[in-house]
Amino acid sequence: AEAAELRERLRSVKHSILVLSGKGGVGKSTFSALLAHGLAADETKQVALLDIDICGPSIPKMMGLEGEQVHQSGSGWSPVYVEENLGVMSVGFLLSSPDDAVIWRGPKKNGLIKQFLRDVDWGEIDYLIVDTPPGTSDEHLSIVQYLSATHIDGAVIITTPQEVSLQDVRKEINFCHKVKLPIIGVVENMSGFICPKCKNESQIFPPTTGGAEKMCQNLNVSLLGKVPLDPQIGKSCDKGQSFLSEAPESPATVSYRNIIQRIQEYCDQHHFHEEKII
Amino acid sequence: FLAERSNLAGVRHILLVLSGKGGVGKSTISMELALSLRHSGKKVGILDVDLCGPSIPRMFRVQDNDVHQCDSGWVPVFVDQDKSISLMSIGFLLEKPDDAVVWRGPKKNALIKQFVGDVAWGDLDFLIVDTPPGTSDEHISTVEALRPYKPLGAILVTTPQAVSVGDVRRELTFCKKTGLRVLGIVENMSGFVCPHCSECTNIFSKGGGEELARHAGVPFLGCVPLDPQLSQSLEEGRDFIQEFPKSSAFPALAHITQQILNGTSQRSS
């Protein structure tokens, strides 16, 4: 009965994309936010961004929605809207103070994630983007389980170039295989830094074992693109602005846009394929 | 219960390294602190309770080591001949390094209890506990299991930007609620000095960690800059403290260690 409830609620979701990484701090939330902005640039598309990082919800701040609260209506919880066609949900909206800590064990976190899917009145959505915390634990198992009520187009996996990150990301790729989650591809973030003064490049997070490129080759997954470090990215996130709009000329913006386009194409092919089957 | 008492009875100081935020450098700081303390003549253990993303073994280049049992429990892995640094991590228990540990909370809690109670550390000056990001099962279980042994406290690591500080504020609340003393905040990845022209760029902004310490009334332990030599050392399992004393991150790391040592001598007296 619960599964039927979820299926009913999620029937109107055309595409869902999970943003994952085994490693923390590689730019999942940053990427999720920019993917949401990128997809919502087409005003005919309805985009939903769901933040299931219960302990460290970064999305409200990055979307310029800090301090917003969730409202209830007859049809459920209302997402918080950044644009008319871009709605957001996060535990951040349920906390009354920035110092509030969510000190919950697994089962309670799972309960909230289910509520986010079941009780939020998303309406008809073209793209549901789910931002996740690092790891391969309760949140990840639960979201895959609950979203099996609809279908998941796939996962975008974020990494940085160094082996310390890649070793965790390989585990995440294994997790995806284990739970039969298709992998749309890998994004290598923080890929080099060009000094604004002398224009020389430094590898701050060195790809000592070949970076994401080599890992993708070895594991037979797509490398969607590499994004360089740009101090403006962090600034935009802190201000709650879209980096793509604030720094349209940045090489990082060019990379992000290419990656977003590839993801869109992947989803479109998927949709087409399903229509063919019917 | 008797066995548990004897395994941590020889440990003089227990120190947790926490952050609400992922990827800020908890494992890096844990490792560098251990190396610095070793250079000050201390015996150090690192307990890595990040079950999904255990970084510590590889940083010391011992990721292929196996763990053995003795009468009082698991024997920690020593990183070198003189046995001055020992480690325990789930990384040593995995059959293949790419194996994902896809466990829900209760199973994680059970292993953490074992890690805290069943590792035969012997005599240590410091046991550093490296944690995953967040305020969930691992953190609750670790603090509960360590409580009888009266930890020295916690070091909180952040990067300068508001998005990180936002999560670390919640971690401070966690410490308050669980009665864990905050030894101080470290602001990591604080500025990058270009090795070619020496221009400093604040890639991840600047000052957020210091400001948080001031706002929360906890000690500020210092800013550690982004240092490619440090990242390279971590990748290659090298002793950064010994090999790169002239590097940009070294003074900050040495200063953090000194403050910890000062803190412990105060506590003893």
Could you give the C-alpha distances from A188 to A34, A162, A243, in angstroms and in order? Answer: 15, 10, 17
Judging contacts by C-beta atoms under 8 Å, the chain A residues touching residue B182 are: none
pLDDT for res A272: 55
pLDDT for res B94: 85
Judging contacts by C-beta atoms under 8 Å, the chain A residues touching residue B249 are: none
Contacts of B219 (CB under 8 A, 6+ apart): B182, B183, B184, B185, B213, B259
Closest among A27, A76, A18, A9 to A50, alpha carbons compared: A18
Domain extent, residue B223, equals 11-266
pLDDT for res A78: 94
Kindly report, residue by residue over B184-228, the tens digit of the pLDDT.
999 999 999 999 999 999 999 999 999 999 999 999 999 999 999
Distance CA A212, CA A191 (A): 10
Judging contacts by C-beta atoms under 8 Å, the chain A residues touching residue B95 are: none
Q: How confident is the model at residue B268 (pLDDT cuts 50, 70, 90)?
A: low
B6: left (phi over 0), alpha (psi -120 to 50) or beta: alpha
Residue B3 located in a structural domain: no
Residue B2 pLDDT exceeds 90? no
Are residues A24 and B21, on separate chains, in Cβ contact within 8 Å?
Answer: yes
pLDDT for res B257: 96
Which one has a higher pLDDT value, B1 or A13? A13
Q: How confident is the model at residue B3 (pLDDT cuts 50, 70, 90)?
A: very low
pLDDT for res A2: 76
Which one has a higher pLDDT value, A276 or B249? B249
pLDDT for res B17: 97
Choose the mutation target among B108, B164, B194 for the interface with A, i.e. most A CBs under 10 Å.
Answer: B194
Mind telling me how many Å the CA of B10 is from chain A's nearest CA?
31
Judging contacts by C-beta atoms under 8 Å, the chain B residues touching residue A113 are: none
ipTM of the complex model: 0.91
Give me the tens of pLDDT residue by residue for chain A, a chain 278 residues long: 777 888 888 888 999 999 999 899 999 999 999 999 999 999 999 999 999 999 999 999 999 999 999 998 888 999 999 999 999 999 999 998 999 999 999 999 999 999 999 999 989 999 999 999 998 888 999 999 999 878 899 999 999 999 999 999 999 999 999 999 999 999 999 999 999 999 999 999 999 999 999 999 999 999 999 999 999 999 999 999 999 999 999 999 999 999 999 999 999 987 655 555 54
User: DSSP string covering B165-206, please?
Assistant: HHHHHHHHHHHHHHT--EEEEEE-S--EE-TTT--EE-TT-S
What SS3 class is residue A243? helix
Residue A102: closest CA among chain B residues belongs to which residue? B135
Mean pLDDT, all residues of chain A: 93
Q: Report A:41-70 residues touching B (Cβ under 8 A).
A: 54-56, 58, 61-62
Distance CA A250, CA B165 (A): 26
By CB neighbour count within 10 A (0-12 exposed, 13-18 middle, 19+ buried), where does B127 fall? buried
Residue carrying structure tokens 């602190």: B33
Mind telling me how many Å the CA of A195 is from chain B's nearest CA?
7
pLDDT for res A9: 84
Mean pLDDT for the stretch of residues B4-13: 83
pLDDT for res A278: 45
Judging contacts by C-beta atoms under 8 Å, the chain A residues touching residue B199 are: 195-198
How many domains in chain B?
A: 1
Q: Where are the beta strands (DSSP E) in chain B?
A: 11-18, 44-48, 68-70, 73-75, 77-78, 85-89, 124-130, 153-158, 182-187, 192-193, 200-201, 220-223
Q: The pTM is what?
A: 0.93
pLDDT for res B167: 93
Domain ranges of chain A: 1-276
CATH number, position B134: 3.40.50.300
Which CATH architecture fits A1-276?
A: 3-Layer(aba) Sandwich (3.40)
Distance CA B43, CA B47 (A): 14
Residue B127 pLDDT exceeds 90? yes
Residue B6 located in a structural domain: no
Distance CA B130, CA A64 (A): 32
Residue type, A183: I
Which one has a higher pLDDT value, A219 or B263? A219
pLDDT for res B4: 45
Could you give the C-alpha distances from A228 to A30, A203, A212, A257, A261, in angstroms and in order? Answer: 13, 10, 13, 13, 18
* φ and ψ of A137, to 5 deg: -130, -145
Which one has a higher pLDDT value, B94 or A23? A23
Residue B75 located in a structural domain: yes
Kindly report, residue by residue over A6-34, the tens digit of the pLDDT.
888 888 899 999 999 989 999 999 999 99
Residue type, A138: D
Mean pLDDT for the stretch of residues B216-241: 94
Residue B243 pLDDT exceeds 90? yes
pLDDT for res B35: 95
Are residues B22 and A162, on separate chains, in Cβ contact within 8 Å?
Answer: no
